[in-house]
A and B are shown apart, each in its own frame.
Chain A
Amino acid sequence: MSAPIPYAEAVAEFEPVIGMEVHVELGTESKIFCGCPTAFGAPPNTQVCPVCLGLPGSMPVMNAMAIESTIRIGLALNCSIAEWCRMARKNYFYPDMPKDYQVSQYDEPLCVDGYLDVTVPTDDGPMVVRVGIERVHLEEDTGKLTHAGGATGRIHGADYSLVDYNRAGIPLVEIVTKPVTGTGALAPEVARAYVTELRDIMRGLGVSDVKMEEGSLRCDANVSLNLPGAEWGTRSETKNVNSLRSVERAVRSEIERQAGVLKSGGRVVQETRHFHEDTGVTTPGRSKEHAEDYRYFPEPDLVPIAPAREWVEELRRGLPEQPSVHRARLAQAWGIGDFEMATLVNAGVLELVEASVAAGVAPDAARKWWAGEFTRIANESGVEPASLAVTPADIARVEELIASGALNDKLARQVFEGVIAGEGTPDEVVAARGLAVVSDDGALLSAIDEALAAQPDVAEKIRGGKVQAAGAIVGAVMKATRGQADAGKVRELLLERLGVSDS
């Protein structure tokens, strides 16, 4: 096996072609073909009936809201909506599928041929990439298998397996891009920006809660490499990409791996690969060299779908503001440029900033916290910023404390550290950690005296009128009070003590 080669080297030599397959669980009240509820997290096999269990004799009835949501997604992605199409059966045996076929769509998808523009920040400013949408189709989700025993957590080698059919029959929309070329070294960022944008569109449409951690948005990333000017290479399909951050990492890791294979004269195998959050690399899964024949044919238990043109146009008129338009409006309101906006989007914090501003935080402060401190903490612990245990209300409260002089910037960071660690509300953390700004003049004065005594030469200089030397004493006092003092106040007291004025 050849070793991966460093990313910069890989993209200097090879051109990546990427493609994304995203599955979105629709947030309809009931399942696609029956009346069972779709709520996440219910005890196993409590949201099932003869239809979604595929019991002999049961028959599907199409959920009209699932069709409507799929069409709205298609319209938001600039697709054409089919005038007539059918569901199809995808036949294969697997215990998570109650009927041993999946009702999906094959050669007659509901929406085709659209695009989505995504923006990625580059050194030369934001770059817009148009990602072509091949198709958007509707299908049913499968049940969920849990494999007990065995080393791999897969069905092979397991002692036994459990199936939960609560998920079986939840409407699923599959969105497939056309191959995305010419993005070079930016391919991982483009992949991430695409999924982020798609997620924001789904959220704006209100068709799904798009929670990657709960699997309501699932992403497969296809990657291939070719030498400049050469034909496209063989692609791998990476599954198990469960966060926006992972999308980027998975594509990057596949580029490094495939470049290593090609560079050593090897051949990329057409296969499914699994991404591992912990190691950041992919490992091989099922080979697709001998593709399974799914024996697709039109689903005879359902009637064709023929959305009336007037209805489609009505749905088009009812679409919400596109995220890009929405962002432009926010950028103007917050007084920031494209680059700053792209940074927020790419860090996955735009909505968080927006929510914080809505909670009363000044836009600049909200941006500073989310794009700076919180993104750093999230990256360090390998999670999405959104999953940090800090709320817009927390930020608003901390900002209030800063404005009142009760906290300074450094203390505020420590407050958030406590909040994120689950120590309580900002006020609770302030109290428990004793983080209030030291404003007791007596305590500060004694700290100042100590610092002056420790550095008599500096004290002399200040007395002699070299006011700029005060910084060294102020620094010492701040250090002695572990940052809990207000630096401005220390300086004021120091000069007063030495009988010099600032001007």
Chain B
Amino acid sequence: MSTPLERDLIRQSAATLAEAIAEGEVSAREVTQAHLDRIAEVDGDVHAFLHVDAEGALATADAVDASRAAGDALGPLAGVPLALKDILAMKGVPTTCGSKILEGWRPPYDATVVERLRAAGIPILGKTNMDEFAMGSSTEHSAYGPTRNPWDLDRIPGGSGGGSAAAIASFEAPLAIGTDTGGSIRQPAAVTGTVGVKPTYGGVSRYGLVALASSLDQAGPCTRTVMDAALLHAVIGGHDPRDSTSIPDPMPDVVAAAARADVRGMRIGLVRELTGEGYQAGVEQRFREAVEILEHLGAEVVEVSCPHFEYALGAYYLILPSECSSNLARFDGMRYGLRVGDDGNASVEEVMSLTREAGFGPEVKRRIMLGTYALYSGYYDAYYGQAQKVRTLIQRDFEAAFAQCDVLVSPTAPTTAFRIGEKVDDPLAMYLNDVATIPVNMAGNCAMSLPVGLAPEDGLPVGLQVMAPPMADDRLYLVGGALEGALRDRWGHLLIEEVPSL
């Protein structure tokens, strides 16, 4: 005889699993094995994982079980397995960033995030697929083939962290880590009907996160529930002396906020510039309904204007390529990863050049070239310099808006998941997917995407974005928790439970 829990381990929330493990209802090994089995079963179709580390995950699970048997107190997520975006260094485990240029590289060290996951007793199932070096919004730019959206395998799971989002949505893992430079956690969350949080810049250590754009990158949780995101956020967040840009102040209590899940008396700002033209009708419709629910729950909704958001995308596509052209310079075939053309006659410059030619995909090359150009001394002021000024203006827009409101909301992405191949040859169309998520990265704020229903026209998930000021990450969870609760009450279940079985 088995309880429903045991029959359906993979469909439980991380919080439920953690409690069951702590209570001894199920072992960490059983939970981990169930997810490894699920990966074996469905990942051929989904392709969320680039590498599965069954041995490492089970070893961690066994350690948790032994620890529990010894009577040690377990951490709040101990034994609950996780999928790690393949952009975080993990000692001895292949880390490719979705690129051929890093094929075969096994880092000799752990990222701080990975260290904290290990310390929390979280088994790491493996590394998830992504757009090469996190450049993209569909995971089609992975050198190892695209990940598919569990809601419709012909559609994209978002990007760059499509692997992490798809792993969550296909019940391959209850927890995942993503990274968000311009929306790479939130947009995949929106199009897969899951929850994704981009913490405040400096809230989660970047040490060991292979940099795309250092001033924009931030790692964060990908989950199926708001509480699970809060629990994972609390594990990975907090000051790290190895990351100079890490904030030394104590982080807000996101778990308590998720538990409180209350918007009464909050002022919620609707950003005028992040709706209307370019937004799919069904996306807009579900977004408006969700805002009405928030009003019903006791929040006051006001409209605010952030006039400089219009320039965010343009400025972002100068700052990001500039930083990435420098960050990706080290992939030159000299020390690790791919080396091409070293025939004993080629010069060092030729080997570097041939390696980069062969190792980088077209989107990476495009951005490196854009950034290299933008940083030339003759153009620096006109491009990089101007973009930084726009960045300041966006920060001021946020400051002005947050003087009136506690949080801001918008649709996370302008459309639902599009078909694989639909935009891959049209960079500008692809870039527009991040129009609503980019301003937050530019200002260093925090934001969450959570599912608010299916668009009537295509039956695909729609995400709502909550944005809060720096170091006010707890407000995301107050709003997200309240909205999730109200929607669950309305539907009788979480949206993710409507995902077709694979």
Query: Which chain A residues have a beta carbon within 8 Å of chain B's beta carbons?
Result: 50, 53-62, 89, 91, 93, 95, 98-101, 155-156, 161, 163, 293, 295-297, 300-303
Return chain A residues, CB-CB under 8 Å to B210.
Answer: 56-57
B323 touches A300 (CB 8 A): yes
Complex CA–CA separation, A160 to B347 (angstroms): 10
The answer on a CB contact under 8 Å between B329 and A100 is yes
CB distance from B156 to the nearest CB of A (A): 26
Contacts of A101 in B (CB 8 A): 326, 329
B107 at the interface (CB under 8 A from A): yes
Residue from B89, B107, B206, B329 with most neighbouring chain A CB atoms (10 Å)? B329
Contact of B244 among A55, A99, A155, A302 (CB under 8 A): A302
Which of the residues B105, B107, B242, B329 comes within 8 Å of A93, measured between beta carbons?
A: B329
Contacts of A100 in B (CB 8 A): 329-330, 332
Judging by beta carbons under 8 Å apart, are A59 and B326 in contact? no
What separation, in Å, do the CA atoms of A58 and B327 have in the docked complex?
11
Q: Contacting B111 at CB < 8 Å: which of A57, A61, A99?
A: A57
Tell whether, in the assembled complex, residue A62 and residue B244 are in contact, meaning their CB atoms are under 8 Å apart.
yes
B13 interface residue, CB < 8 Å from A?
Answer: no
Whether B244 and A50, one on each chain, are in contact in the complex, defined by CB atoms closer than 8 angstroms, is: no
Check if A57 sits within 8 Å of B89, measured CB to CB: yes
Complex contacts, A57 vs chain B, CB 8 Å:
88-89, 107, 111, 207-211
Q: Footprint of A on B, CB under 8 Å? A: 88-89, 95, 97, 102, 105, 107-109, 111, 206-211, 213-215, 241-245, 322-323, 325-326, 329-332, 334-336, 347-349, 352, 372, 375-377, 380, 384
Question: Are A93 and B244 in contact, with the CB atoms below 8 A?
Answer: no
Q: Chain B: which residue is nearest A157 at the CB level?
A: B347
Shortest A164–chain B CB gap in Å is 13
Most A C-beta atoms less than 10 A away, residue of B111, B214, B331: B214
- Chain B residues within an 8 Å CB radius of A89: 326
Give me 22 A-to-B residue pairs in the complex whose CB atoms sit less than 8 angstroms apart, sorted by A's number. Answer: A50-B89, A50-B109, A56-B89, A56-B95, A56-B97, A57-B211, A59-B206, A59-B207, A60-B244, A61-B241, A61-B242, A91-B375, A93-B349, A100-B332, A101-B329, A155-B348, A293-B377, A295-B377, A297-B323, A300-B213, A301-B245, A302-B245
What separation, in Å, do the CA atoms of A32 and B276 have in the docked complex?
50
Q: Are B215 and A300 in contact (CB under 8 A)?
A: yes
Best-surrounded residue of A54, A56, A89 (most CB of chain B within 10 A): A56
Contacting A50 at CB < 8 Å: which of B108, B332, B348? B108
Contact B326 A303 (CB under 8 A): no
| A95 CA / B334 CA spacing, docked (Å) | 7
Instruction: Knowing A50-B108, A55-B108, say if A98 contacts B244 (CB, 8 Å).
Output: no
- The answer on a CB contact under 8 Å between A91 and B329 is yes
Contact A61 B244 (CB under 8 A): yes
Residue of A58, A91, A155, A156 touching B207 (CB-CB under 8 A): A58
Most buried by B among A61, A161, A295, A301: A295
Q: Which residue of A lies closest to B329 (CB)?
A: A100
**Main secondary structure on chain A at its contact with chain B?**
loop
Docked Cα-Cα span, A156 to B209, in Å, equals 36
Contacts of A295 in B (CB 8 A): 325-326, 372, 375-377, 380
B335 to chain A, nearest CB (A): 7
Known interface pairs A295-B372, A297-B326, A300-B214; A56-B244 also in contact (CB < 8 Å): no
Q: Bound complex: CA of A99 vs CA of B102, how far in Å?
A: 15
Residues of B within 8 A of A301 (CB): 211, 214, 244-245
Which chain A residues border B372 with CB–CB below 8 Å? 295
Please, how many angstroms separate the alpha-carbon atoms of A303 and B335 in the complex?
Answer: 28
Nearest Cβ on chain B to A91's Cβ, whole angstroms: 5
Nearest B residue to A294 via CB reads B377
Whether A156 lies near B244 (C-beta < 8 A) is no
Min CB gap B127→A, angstroms: 13
- Indicate if the CB atoms of B107 and A56 lie closer than 8 Å: yes
A62 to chain B: which residues have CB within 8 Å? 244
Q: Which residues of A contact B377 (CB under 8 A)?
A: 293, 295-296
Q: Are B329 and A303 in contact (CB under 8 A)?
A: no
Minimum-distance CB pairs A-B, first 9: A100-B329, A295-B375, A300-B214, A300-B215, A57-B208, A56-B210, A57-B89, A57-B210, A99-B330
Q: Is the CB of B326 within 8 A of A98?
A: no
CB distance from B369 to the nearest CB of A (A): 12
Q: Are A297 and B244 in contact (CB under 8 A)?
A: no
Chain A nearest CB from B280 CB (Å) reads 34
Q: Which residues of B contact A54 (CB under 8 A)?
A: 330, 335
A94 to chain B minimum Cβ distance, whole angstroms, is: 8
Shortest Cβ distance from residue A30 to the other chain B in the assembled complex, whole angstroms: 14
Name the residue of chain A whose CB is nearest to the CB of B105: A56
Which of A60, A93, A297 contacts B332, CB < 8 Å?
A: A93
Closest to A51 in B: B242
B348 and A99 within 8 A (CB) = no
Quick one: which of A54, A93, A297, A302 has the most chain B CB within 10 A? Answer: A297
Known contacts A59-B242, A61-B241, A296-B380; 14 additional CB pairs below 8 A are A50-B89, A54-B330, A55-B336, A56-B97, A56-B331, A61-B243, A99-B330, A101-B326, A163-B334, A295-B326, A295-B377, A300-B215, A301-B244, A302-B244
With both beta carbons as reference points, the residue of chain B lying nearest to A100 in the complex is identified as B329
Smallest Cβ-Cβ distance to B331: which chain A residue:
A56
Cross-chain contact A293 with B207 (CB below 8 angstroms): no
Distance (Å) between the CB of B240 and the closest chain A CB?
Answer: 9
Separation of A61 and B205 alpha carbons in the complex (Å):
13
Q: Which of A59, A98, A100 has the most CB of B within 10 A?
A: A59
Q: Are B380 and A59 in contact (CB under 8 A)?
A: no
Q: Are the C-beta atoms of B376 and A293 separated by less than 8 Å?
A: yes
Bound CA span A163–B215, Å: 31
In the bound complex, how far is the Cα of B372 from the Cα of A296, in angstroms?
Answer: 11
Q: In chain A, what residue has the closest Cβ to B323?
A: A300
| Contact between chains at A95 and B348 (CB < 8 Å) | yes
Is the pair A98, B330 in contact by a Cβ cutoff of 8 Å?
yes
A residues near B88, Cβ cutoff 8 Å:
57
Q: Which residues does chain B contribute within 8 Å of A161, judged by CB atoms?
A: 348
B329–A99 CB distance below 8 A: yes
Chain B residue with Cβ nearest A160: B344
Partner of B322, one of A55, A58, A61, A297: A297
